[in-house]
């Protein structure tokens, strides 16, 4: 009984372990329990189903009124057309390059800075932390124009430098996230290593990095999805079609008077897939990460 109440409290108990009041309408009860949640989940999932089904419809099926989710004929025609209209592979490659380098930068820089903020005893830790918080709160629009002018002055428009270099200098949000995580690591652990004569860099690499792995993976997964889905920065910095990421490359499906919905949805599906895969792999970190970042 005591076990049961803790299970209810933590929400860990499955319905089966609760006292069964009536046996007969078990299916119904379960359905009612799940019902609203299933409806809610379907509402969120439905648009994605429409995306995939539109992508797989034959051109004559795309424009059907009333709309239907099940195509009369499954075909990859829209994908073929998408590849004809825009260089999908190149845009995918460009996007992958930007996202990959951003993740690399984040993983290299953010834990370093977070370590300096939490585990190195020095006078700069506090003021620097305040700077991290302040930059987190500043609207990006304030720095948008001078940043554009800097990169433009350096001749770096139409390159990926403006999209990627900032990640190597540490993203305030991720520094904050990893710092919060490191604050919970006992100092004794690091002190022991230092007493053994390990250099600061060695202590960092062999003790801090492995411990902070969950936080670093969270940051990496978030950074991947942010860079993958970013729209504003590619819009500002990339003007040469060969450098486009998918975010801005999809425009090509908007014609003078109409939109090529079938191929567009096919391209959208291909654009969504990598983010989806990363999400499924990193799901645990993702969902843990957002609640940790918010509540701590």
Q: Which residues, numbered 86-145, are part of the site for another protein (CB under 8 A)?
A: 108-109, 112-113, 115-117, 120-125, 128, 131-132, 135, 138-145
Smallest distance, Å, CB 7 to another protein?
Answer: 8
Q: Which is nearer to another protein, 77 or 264 (CB)?
A: 264
Which of 176, 204, 244, 285 forms a contact with another protein (CB under 8 A)? Answer: 204
- The answer to whether residue 169 forms part of the interface with another protein (CB under 8 A) is yes
Total residues interacting with another protein, rule: CB under 8 A: 104
Residue written as token pair 């499955």:
14
C-beta separation of 158 from 233 below 8 A: no
- The answer to whether residue 177 forms part of the interface with another protein (CB under 8 A) is no
Smallest distance, Å, CB 24 to another protein?
Answer: 20
Q: Which is nearer to another protein, 81 or 170 (CB)?
A: 170
Which run of H or E residues covers position 209?
Answer: helix 209-211
Which of 200, 209, 213, 214 forms a contact with another protein (CB under 8 A)? Answer: 200
DSSP secondary-structure letter at 19?
A: P
- The answer to whether residue 21 forms part of the interface with another protein (CB under 8 A) is no
Alpha-carbon distance of 217 to 177, in angstroms, equals 11
- The answer to whether residue 20 forms part of the interface with another protein (CB under 8 A) is no
Smallest distance, Å, CB 249 to another protein?
Answer: 10
- The answer to whether residue 5 forms part of the interface with another protein (CB under 8 A) is yes
Which of 104, 180, 185, 279 forms a contact with another protein (CB under 8 A)? Answer: 279
Smallest distance, Å, CB 233 to another protein?
Answer: 11
How far is residue 142 CA from its own chain's centroid?
24
* 47, 62, 182 from 110: Cα distances, Å: 35, 46, 12
Q: Which is nearer to another protein, 149 or 189 (CB)?
A: 149
Phi, psi of 270 (to 5 degrees): -70, -30
Smallest distance, Å, CB 97 to another protein?
Answer: 16
C-beta separation of 157 from 237 below 8 A: yes
- The answer to whether residue 170 forms part of the interface with another protein (CB under 8 A) is yes
Q: How much helix, strand and coil, in percent to the nearest 5, is found in the chain?
A: 75, 0, 25
**Which range in 65-73, 82-90, 96-104, 183-191 contacts another protein by CB under 8 A?**
65-73
- The answer to whether residue 186 forms part of the interface with another protein (CB under 8 A) is no
**Which range in 36-44, 75-83, 96-104, 182-190 contacts another protein by CB under 8 A?**
36-44
Q: Please give the residues from 248 up to 267 whose contact with another protein meets the rule CB under 8 A.
A: 248, 250-252, 254-256, 259, 261, 264-265
Q: Please give the residues from 206 up to 235 whose contact with another protein meets the rule CB under 8 A.
A: 225, 228-229, 231-232
Alpha-carbon distance of 79 to 245, in angstroms, equals 18
Helix 88-118 with 77-85: angle, nearest 10 deg: 80
């Amino acid at each position: 009984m005591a076990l049961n109440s803790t299970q209810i409290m933590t929400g860990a108990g499955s319905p089966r372990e609760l006292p069964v009041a009536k046996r007969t309408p078990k299916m119904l009860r379960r359905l009612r329990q799940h019902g609203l949640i299933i409806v809610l989940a379907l509402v969120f999932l439905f648009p994605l189903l429409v995306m995939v089904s539109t992508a797989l419809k034959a051109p004559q099926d795309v424009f059907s009124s009333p709309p239907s989710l099940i195509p009369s004929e499954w075909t990859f025609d829209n994908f073929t057309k998408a590849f004809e209209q825009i260089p999908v592979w190149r845009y995918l490659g460009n996007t992958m390059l930007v996202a990959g380098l951003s993740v690399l930068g984040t993983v290299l820089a953010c834990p370093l800075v977070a370590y300096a903020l939490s585990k190195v005893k020095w006078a700069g830790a506090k003021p620097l932390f305040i700077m991290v918080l302040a930059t987190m709160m500043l609207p990006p629009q304030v720095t948008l124009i001078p940043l554009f002018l800097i990169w433009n002055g350096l001749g770096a428009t139409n390159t990926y430098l403006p999209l990627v270099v900032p990640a190597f200098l540490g993203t305030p949000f991720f520094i904050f996230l990893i710092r919060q995580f490191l604050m919970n690591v006992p100092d004794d652990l690091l002190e022991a290593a230092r007493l053994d004569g390990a250099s600061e860099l060695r202590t960092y690499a062999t003790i801090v990095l492995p411990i902070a792995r969950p936080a670093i993976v969270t940051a990496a997964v978030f950074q991947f999805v942010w860079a993958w889905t970013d729209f504003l920065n590619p819009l500002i910095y990339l003007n040469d079609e060969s450098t486009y990421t998918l975010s801005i490359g999809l425009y090509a499906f908007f014609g003078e008077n109409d939109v090529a919905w079938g191929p567009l949805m096919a391209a959208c599906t291909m654009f969504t897939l990598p983010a989806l895969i990363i999400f499924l792999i990193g799901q645990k970190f993702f969902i843990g990460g957002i609640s940790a970042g918010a509540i701590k």
